[in-house]
Chains A and B, each alone.
Chain A
Amino acid sequence: MFNTFQKELRAHGDGGYHRLAGKLEIDTVMDWFGRQGLQAPSSYAQFLCEVGPGSFFGGALTIYPLADRHGRSVESELGRLREATSEGIFPFGYDGTTESCYCFDAHSGSDAVYWFSWEEKMRRPVAPRFGEWIEAKPAELFKDQIYAGYKKLTNVDELVAVMEERAAFRVRLASFDRQLQRPPDKPNDLLPRYNKVVLEITKTRPVSIPVLTVMVARLGSKYGAANVEYATIPVHDMPVNTPVIRECYVFDPFNVPFGDLVVKFNPVIDLGSKMRVKFKELSGLLV
């Protein structure tokens, strides 16, 4: 029944871009919902049996497992939903944002999909039928540049060559501005979200990579070591053995107070990490 979705899983289902939690037996599904006093729409129950719950498209769509001791599930979110609203709905997934969860009517058996906003405590209709809704997701959510962070690499030699060129550079943080601001090329941003960072970069031998990506860590925030961002600086025009000052604006993805800002430059890129796509000097070699 879910041919398009299944085809997408076959095409890109390895390496974590899609994380399948395992198919369920129809008896398990019906028994579980019966015990909760809920009526699962038949197409949704069928999806749980033919595909199963999981995290799809790099987290852009999650279909909850029925119960999970460690993460979100229909059971855990149902508890929160019942605290938040008296609407007769049950949650079955979400889109990787904090805003809301996808829901069904709890008792009619209708497979109309609703969107419940945690912010407003209201639901609104998303699609009249679950089957058509989820079959449209591959076209809507598949992104080549994100999948590039997950797929198996076959050109490791080329990637290593880029890292060897990266090793030709020395990078030093000259200064940074603690005040978040809008970059000159983004004057209309809703909020100021960038720190201005000044780097001193030295190219120690002739190389051909046009850009250099460095990690910027904001230390002392509540997110600890996770609070890193990547900055890519043009280096194509740099002379050899002459330190050059480069300014860049580094996005603050977490938007929380921090103590200090440091630049971490390691020529070696972790090719096993999906964050490898943040290194623009690899971009032509990953997609």
Chain B
Amino acid sequence: MADELPAYQQAADNGLLTKIRSSDLPGSNARAIWQEANGPVPDGFDVDHIIQRQFGGTDDLSNLQLKLSGLNRSQGAQSMWLNKASPYGTVFDSVELTGH
């Protein structure tokens, strides 16, 4: 999550960080989009959303990055601080890394 913090802050600065309800999200096709635009995914890596979809991140290639396959799922847990108390539709104007 620390690696993503500048991107989150930038998204917040631009009013793009919004809490979204899962059922409102379109299906993601992130790996296919990555492969189409940027070729094969190296072995041992997965495709990851920098700004998570639940916070307004899209499948835009610029919002995708490679993450080691074994390390990825903790991302969501670490970012949940942003998600817990706020109602859907909340636009976040600042971010802060906690839990470290």
Report which A residues bind B (CB closer than 8 A).
58-60, 72, 80, 84, 95-99, 117-122, 124, 126, 140-141, 143, 145-146, 149, 182, 186, 189-193, 223, 226, 230, 251, 253-257, 274-275, 277-278
Contact = CB atoms under 8 A, between A and B. Distances in A.
Contact of A251 (B30, B38, B45, B57): B38
Contacts, number: 125
A99 B49 contact: yes
B66 to A, nearest CB: 5
A97 B34 CA distance: 10
A42 to B, nearest CB: 26
Contacts of A189: 60-62
B62 A190 contact: yes
Nearest to B33: A97
A146 B76 contact: no
Contacts of B42: 226, 275
Contact of B46 (A97, A230, A253, A257): A97
Given A58-B40, A126-B27, A190-B51, 7 more contacts: A96-B31, A97-B46, A118-B72, A191-B7, A253-B66, A275-B40, A277-B39
Contacts of A140: 32
A97 B65 contact: no
20 contacts: A58-B41, A60-B31, A60-B32, A60-B35, A96-B31, A118-B72, A118-B75, A119-B54, A120-B54, A120-B83, A122-B22, A145-B36, A189-B60, A189-B61, A190-B62, A191-B7, A191-B63, A192-B62, A254-B66, A275-B39
Contact of A72 (B40, B41, B61, B69): B69
A143 B7 contact: no
Contact of B51 (A72, A95, A141, A191): A191
Q: Which 7 A-B pairs have the closest CB atoms?
A: A98-B72, A119-B76, A189-B62, A98-B48, A255-B65, A96-B31, A190-B60
Interface residues of B, number: 50
A124 B23 contact: yes
A275 B41 CA distance: 9
Which one of A96, A98, A140, A186 has the highest number of Cβ atoms from chain B below 10 Å of its Cβ?
A: A98
Contacts of A84: 77
A126 B39 CA distance: 26
Contacts of A80: 73
A118 B62 contact: no
B58 A146 contact: no
Contacts of A223: 68
B84 to A, nearest CB: 11
A262 B39 CA distance: 21
A143 B46 contact: no
Which one of A96, A124, A191, A274 has the highest number of Cβ atoms from chain B below 10 Å of its Cβ?
A: A191
A59 B31 contact: yes
A226 B65 CA distance: 13
B41 A96 contact: yes
Contacts of A143: 32, 35-36
